[in-house]
């Protein structure tokens, strides 16, 4: 069945992009990666999304994250559209964006990755791509996926936040609670015994008392 599940390895596809032909695993290298799809070039919501992605590109780069977009139009259309995106941001209308855009005119990659939206059709009645976000780790495995309909734009500040959470929890034995932001306290994972947790988190562990008497809400300052 087409599509990706958490823990699946990204397919090592080849594709033409606005920055030349790529092989996906080579493009990612040892970095984290974000692949995000769009219904079509020269559409209003997509233009605002890619504009915001371009603005936040330095922040993703700081986190060793490579970004790549996908849309079901040609490289030539992508390059022309990039001028509009830069102009939307108030920048010079150039063809270059800080990330490549994949040309998937035949929808082959969109089908392979399970990105099509059956409720959004083009003039020929063919499904458009939905607004999918895939986050891959340095091991090329899928760490997070978010699926939006074509009518709802994504929040790229939230995508940046979840990248911070994914990277922190990949290397530390913690989880991030609701509405967590970098710098907030985190939660000790339930599988970690108290004695080991005290050694791992010298800044201290704080437990919230609950009616059940169970001590499972264990907080600690965000580890370095």
Q: Is 39 exposed, middle or buried (0-12, 13-18, 19+ CB in 10 A)?
A: buried
Catalytic residue among 15, 46, 53, 69: 46
The answer to whether 19 and 54 are in contact (CB under 8 A) is: no
Contact 93, 81 (CB under 8 A): no
Over its C-alpha atoms, the chain yields an Rg (Å, rounded) of 20
Number of other CB atoms surrounding residue 1 within 10 Å: 4
Task: Compute CA distances 115 → 30, 78, 151, whole Å.
Answer: 25, 19, 15
- For residue 102, the number of C-alpha atoms closer than 13 Å in the C-beta half-sphere is 24
* 46 is a catalytic site residue: yes
E-strand spans in 161-222?
Answer: 174-175, 186-188, 206-207, 218-220
Spatial neighbors of 168 by CB under 8 A, at least 6 apart, are: 174, 176, 182, 186, 222, 223
Residues with a catalytic annotation lie at: 46
């Amino acid at each position: 069945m087409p599509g990706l599940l958490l823990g699946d390895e990204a397919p090592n596809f080849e594709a033409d992009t606005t920055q030349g032909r790529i092989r996906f695993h080579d493009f990612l290298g040892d970095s984290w990666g974000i692949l995000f799809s769009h219904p079509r070039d020269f559409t209003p919501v997509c233009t605002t999304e890619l504009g915001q992605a371009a603005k936040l590109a330095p922040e993703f780069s700081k986190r060793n994250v490579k970004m790549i977009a996908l849309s079901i139009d040609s490289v030539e259309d992508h390059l022309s559209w990039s001028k509009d995106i830069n102009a939307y941001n108030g920048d010079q209308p150039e063809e270059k964006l800080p990330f490549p855009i994949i040309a998937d005119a035949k929808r082959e990659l969109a089908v392979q990755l399970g990105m099509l939206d059956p409720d959004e059709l083009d003039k020929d009645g063919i499904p458009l791509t939905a607004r999918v976000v895939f986050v891959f780790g340095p091991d090329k495995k899928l760490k997070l996926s978010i699926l939006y309909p074509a009518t709802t734009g994504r929040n790229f500040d939230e995508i940046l936040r979840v990248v911070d959470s994914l990277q922190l929890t990949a290397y530390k034995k913690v989880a991030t609670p609701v509405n967590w932001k970098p710098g907030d306290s985190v939660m000790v994972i339930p599988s970690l015994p108290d004695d080991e947790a005290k050694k791992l988190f010298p800044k201290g562990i704080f437990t919230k008392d609950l009616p059940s008497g169970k001590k499972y809400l264990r907080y600690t300052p965000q580890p370095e």
